[in-house]
Amino acid sequence: MSSSAMLLRRVVVIARASSSAVMGRIVVGGGGGGGGGGRAVETTTASSPRRTMTTIGPTGGPSSDHERFISEELYPEEETEGEWVGCYLKFLPPISTYSRGIEILYNPLFNKSSAFKGGERDRLRFRGLLPPRKMNLKVQKERALIEIRAEPDMIRKHIILEDIHDTNETLYHRILIDHMDEMAPIIYTPTVGQACSEFSVLYRRPRGMYFSAEDRGHMAAMVYNWPQNDVRVIVVTDGSRILGLGDLGINGMGIPIGKLSLYCAAGGIAPHRVLPVVLDVGTDNPALLKDKFYLGLQRPRLQGSAYYQVVDEFIHAAVHRWPNVLIQFEDFSSDKAQTILNKYRNDVLCFNDDIQGTGATTLAGILGALRAKGESPTSLGDQRILIAGAGSAGMGVAQVLYQAMIEHGRSPMEAKNCFFVADERGLLAKDRLARLSPEQANFARDDDGGLSLREIVNKYKPTMILGMTAVGGLFTEDLIRDMARHCDRPIIFPLSNPTSKAECTAEQAVSWTDGRCIFASGSPFDPVEMENGQMFYPTQCNNMFVFPGIGLGVTLCGAKTVTDRMLYVAAEALANYLSGEELALGKVFPNLSTIRDVSKKVAVAVIEEAIRTGQSSKLSEKELCDLDAFVQSKMYDPIYVPLIEKRTITI
Ligand SMILES: O=C([O-])CC(=O)C(=O)O
Ligand SMILES: [Mg+2]
């Protein structure tokens, strides 16, 4: 008898035995899916157990009344391999594995630690290797939270969480999902900046893959060293521009790891389907070149064609092994980021998060800000937009905003006229054309080249200022006060990360504009009490609001490329998520605790766009009718699933 049939049988017996003891209900089922050796439970939400579960009646067939009452006493929690969901006891189809005994305890994808039940301890041969008392996910989470919260230091909290990540992925993602607003700043921006700076010193266990300049010629084979067959999302960096911290070489690995944690927790991609990658082409950071603990190649970065060949070899190797994988480029320096994106975007399923993800998120924030001012999305083309920073992020934002204006009926000329882009040498204008990249040249003004930020503000009276310079404190009091003098409700977005690189703080923006600004920042800030005693709630304009949903959408529908329209609809879905009450409180992004739902909405919008434009290879028009439920059913939900032995039968 198959093990799932055995489970069903057990349920029936218990359901009959306990029909008079009404204490709990029992259901069996849950969407299985996904093999690959990892736990791939992609479905069943606690909030809607009936919809996705199979239940059985006294005869073993489907029951008409859908549930049987059972006794918790007959079915003690420490022993059952089901999960109590409110008053339901939920059974999930088991996952089978070739691993046995202690190997399972050391595999973070399978490990449940103290929550392994007696049956599993026997079946998988590790009875006696764990303390006897059996816990569950809820109690384990409670214990972990006590430990994390007792630690005042953010980097120590990060270490505790990453230890859990390395030992028990189910528990780690459960904690992230249930406490996203508390945990995101620990595992991701801003603490991930410090984690990267100290990566080589903090290094304990391998996670992800490194492809170095010394691996040239081996990458097509190396990708097979990764144990998972079904990788769906890769986040790759070359460590050349980690947040606003510059060249951190392989220490930048913290970024792909952090981003992929969000892919799993916020975007519902199962953890065995993600792969963090660093391309180690050397480093030009003098401190790392002589740091005796640095774990990357201590040689100057490859340049020119040698550099691009490493990138190319990696991409071909990855796509050859995992043909449908999404590759997210992250934190490549501006001089390389756009070139790489342009080279692959039409042939490979890929996008650059700093250019396109930041662009889409900022557009969403601006649409939200316009709504807060009582203006429609069409009024985007009436804005005067000052962008401080002409690197990949700045130009990505300009491009996405420009595209949105065209979408709303502006001519290219009218749209371009809305932008004032400045770098460290002042306003970008035609006098510098020869030294500008094609993307920068697109937004160069006819004249006034070299005007400072303050001169631009006083001459052109922008309605918004967006900071992507990685220069902490660049938005001075004088500058912001000038903005507020010319504009009733200036939009102020200091977007650089981590917090030390933010162009101004929330408190400064609020105080210098007498509370009139509409504010969002790349790194999180605490609420600010204004002079009138009212609270101001700064929200975070961070690409984490879109990239997990974009990844979920394109991988589910089997898109072949990530198009500009997909980014636009992602931004629109995010902007529309905001309620009127949130806008009234000055929020232009939703609360982080809703990020899973936001990601689902973003994924739905991306899939709809892919289906309509013939980009979807896996889903068709007929899936459009209940796309929301479909996407929900595919999202990874970290819960413990029974493990059984996979056998190789030899006769
Ligand atoms: O990681 C973040 O918070 C945003 C981002 O991509 C960057 O700053 O490079
Ligand atoms: Mg980035």
Closest ligand to C-alpha of residue 358 is: 1
pLDDT in tens, 468-488: 999 999 999 999 999 999 999
Task: Give catalytic residue positions.
Answer: 188, 259
Helix or strand or coil: residue 424? coil
pLDDT at 11 over 80: no
Bigger pLDDT: 229 vs 43: 229
State percent of the chain over pLDDT 90: 79
In degrees and rounded to multiples of 5, residue 117 shows phi and psi of -85, 165
Handedness of CA 642, 643, 644, 647 (dihedral sign): positive
Annotation-wise, does 458 bind a ligand? Answer: no
Ligand 1 site, CB within 6 A: 189, 243, 331, 353-354, 497, 522, 542-543
Residue type (1 letter), 240: S
pTM to 2 decimal places: 0.88
56-70, 277-291, 466-480, 524-538: segment of lowest average pLDDT = 56-70
Q: How many CA atoms lie within 13 A of 540 on its CB side?
A: 24
* Closest by CA position to 205, among listed 259, 248, 167: 167
Q: 337 to each of 241, 399, 400, 549, how far by Cα in Å?
A: 10, 15, 16, 22
Handedness of CA 456, 461, 467, 468 (dihedral sign): negative
Annotation-wise, does 163 bind a ligand? Answer: no
Q: What is the pLDDT of residue 622?
A: 79
For tokens 């992602």, the residue is 570
pLDDT at 318 over 90: yes
Q: List, as ranges, residues with CB under 5 A of the ion ligand 2.
A: 330-331, 354
- Spacing, Cα 88 to ligand 1 middle (Å): 41
Q: What is the pLDDT of residue 73?
A: 59
> What residues contact residue 79 under an 8 Å CB cut-off, 6+ apart?
117, 118, 119, 134
Domains, the chain, in order of start with CATH, read 3-95 (no CATH), 139-332 (3.40.50.10380), 356-541 (3.40.50.720)
- Spacing, Cα 59 to ligand 1 middle (Å): 56
Q: 44 to each of 49, 85, 112, 139, how far by Cα in Å?
A: 6, 11, 19, 21
Annotation-wise, does 612 bind a ligand? Answer: no
pLDDT at 6 over 60: no
pLDDT in tens, 144-167: 999 999 999 999 999 999 999 999
- Spacing, Cα 255 to ligand 1 middle (Å): 8
pLDDT at 182 over 50: yes
